Every structure is written in structure tokens, then in C-alpha cells.
Amino acid sequence: MNQKGGVGKTTTTVNLGAALSLHRQRVLLIDLDPQAHLTLHVGLNPDDLDATIYGLMTDPDASAMHLIHEVRHRLYAMPAEVNLAGVDAELAEAAAQGEAQHILRDKVLPMLESLPAEERFDFVLIDCPPSLGLLTINGLALANEVFVPMQTHFLALQGLSKLLSTVSMVGQSLNPELRVTAIVLGLHDGQTVLANEVMSDLESFLEAARGMDVPWRSARVLQPPVRRNIKLAECPSFGKTIYDYAPLCPGAADYRKLAEAVLAM
């Protein structure tokens, strides 16, 4: 999650997920963004689907199992659609009663637990929208860990404390085990002084939290940073992951190494 747009959330969810699936992990991607970029990125067209996360959030009878699409070998996705943008308003009343924050968890967790052993997912990656609204809160209520994609540029750290206090708030009320475990740096221009300064500011910010009783006390910057690579920007419009589109490019290599770092966590 990150309430800023354009920081690499969707690119990372799709390509880290694809890289993990190539490491023989069974991976489920969940698209919580009304823009449905993840859905399109894996080659699904929201207009052709009879069910999406929107129905799951708003129809008490909708089933999570029904939403799972196999998009590649070992890679699955639960799609979004533009109607998701209305969920905050449609569920405002339920949210005020505290009843709309854990809809996703209540639907998805039992489904995950009911899967036979050979169909269990090793990783479920949730792509959050660029806001701290009800959809993101539902994502945080379901998750065990938060990864924060970030760009190493000016103002990168601005907004981070708001993001972290949302995680704390959700942690206290809905999901006490929730931890921020990783910062993923995307769109990285490693040679610039600025990128390196932002990186070291970030390291000292995280270092300062080590002894504190906060959900990000063990967060670290995941290595390597993902370099800026045009192939990563091109592949979504073809409905392809980087491994379908340009498996030998630097972006494919960076996400492969990130997947190895995640497997070692």
C-alpha cells in the first residue's frame, strides 16, 4: 500500500507475484483498485467478467472462490472493476457501524483456509488503491504484512507517517498482528545524489523505530531497488507480466531478485 499514486504498487504486485510463481510458489493477486490496472495487467478485461471484488464487497451472498481466475501457471487473480469506486459511499453506513472494514477478510480468509492442501496459496498479494479509504482498510484487515512501494525522489517520505498511522490504527482495531515489513523502491535512478539521499533518510527513519512499539519496527528496505526500465511501463498495455513480455530485461531481473529476497524473509 501507499496512498500516493504512481509509486509502483501495481507494477510490483504483478511482477513480484509473477516472479514468485516462477519460483514455484502458488500466488494469488487481489486487485482492490477501482482503476483495475492489475486486472488489465494480467490480461483480464473487467468488461468481460461477470463478477469482481465489487460484488464481493457489496453482495452478502457473493463468493470469493468464484472470483479466482488462473492467469498463468501458478498465478491467480481476483479482478476489480470501475464500480469499486462507489464502495466507500455505498458502504458508508455500515462503515460508521464498524461493519464494513472486514468484509474482505470475512469472505477471503475462510475461502483460503478451505482450499485442499495442494491448492493452497503460498502468497496472497493485495494491490491497494491510492487512498486510505475503506478498500485499503479492507486490504489491511486481511493482510499479515504491509509492503510499501516508494519512489526515491523528493517528497518520497512525505505521507509516510500518515500511511504508518493508518496501519497502526487498523492494527489496533482490526488486525493486531499486522506489520509493515518491507519498503520496495521502484522507479529507481541509482546514480543520482537525490535517490541516494532519500534512501539514507529512509534507512535512518526506519532505524529510529527499531526499539519502539510500532508496527513498522522491523521494516526494512527490500533489496534490490527496482531500476527505472521502460519495458516495465510497456508490458501492462499488452496484458502481460514482465516475464511474458521481456524476460531478459533489467526489470525482470530486479523483480526476480526481489522475489528471492521475499522468499528469504
Of the residues 3, 4, 7, 10, which one makes contact with Mg ion according to CB under 5 A:
10
C-alpha cell at 5: 499514486
Residue (215 or 225) nearer to ligand ADP, CB: 225
Residue (112 or 159) nearer to Mg ion, CB: 159
Cα gap 29→87, rounded to integer Å? 20
Query: Shortest approach of Mg ion to residue 144 CB, angstroms?
Result: 21
> Considering the rule CB under 5 A, would residue 39 count as an interface residue with Mg ion?
no
Query: Shortest approach of ligand ADP to residue 226 CB, angstroms?
Result: 5
Residue partners of 255: CB distance under 8 A and separation at least 6: 12, 15, 16, 18, 19, 226, 242
The closest residue (CB) to Mg ion is 10
Cα gap 252→57, rounded to integer Å? 33
From the list ligand ADP, Mg ion, none, pick the one residue 229 interacts with, judged by a Cβ distance below 5 to 8 Å according to partner type: ligand ADP
Nearest to residue 149, comparing CAs of 138, 137, 160, 134?
A: 160
From the list Mg ion, ligand ADP, none, pick the one residue 78 interacts with, judged by a Cβ distance below 5 to 8 Å according to partner type: none
Beta strands 75-78 and 69-72 are antiparallel
Residue (26 or 241) nearer to Mg ion, CB: 241
From the list ligand ADP, Mg ion, none, pick the one residue 190 interacts with, judged by a Cβ distance below 5 to 8 Å according to partner type: none
- The answer to whether 149 touches 186, Cβ cutoff 8 Å, is yes
Of the residues 9, 102, 188, 240, which one makes contact with Mg ion according to CB under 5 A:
9
Residue (37 or 74) nearer to Mg ion, CB: 37
> Considering the rule CB under 5 A, would residue 37 count as an interface residue with Mg ion?
yes
| CA-angle at 209, arms to 208 and 212, nearest 5° | 125
Query: What ranges in the chain are assigned the alpha helix state H?
Result: 9-22, 37-41, 53-58, 87-90, 92-96, 103-114, 134-142, 160-173, 193-208, 230-234, 242-245, 250-263
Query: Shortest approach of ligand ADP to residue 34 CB, angstroms?
Result: 12
Query: Shortest approach of ligand ADP to residue 61 CB, angstroms?
Result: 31
From the list ligand ADP, Mg ion, none, pick the one residue 139 interacts with, judged by a Cβ distance below 5 to 8 Å according to partner type: none
Q: Which residues of the chain form contacts with ligand ADP (CB under 6 A)?
A: 5-11, 37, 130, 149, 186-187, 226, 228-229, 232-233, 236, 251
C-alpha cell at 46: 473487467
Cα gap 189→196, rounded to integer Å? 9
User: Is the torsion defined by CA of 72, 224, 251, 256 positive or negative?
Assistant: negative
From the list Mg ion, ligand ADP, none, pick the one residue 187 interacts with, judged by a Cβ distance below 5 to 8 Å according to partner type: ligand ADP
Query: Shortest approach of ligand ADP to residue 93 CB, angstroms?
Result: 29
Residue (13 or 26) nearer to Mg ion, CB: 13
What does the DSSP assignment read for 30-46? EE--TT-HHHHHTT--G
Query: Shortest approach of Mg ion to residue 116 CB, angstroms?
Result: 32
User: ω before 149 within 30° of 0 (cis)?
Assistant: no
| Residues engaged in binding Mg ion (CB under 5 A) | 9-10, 37
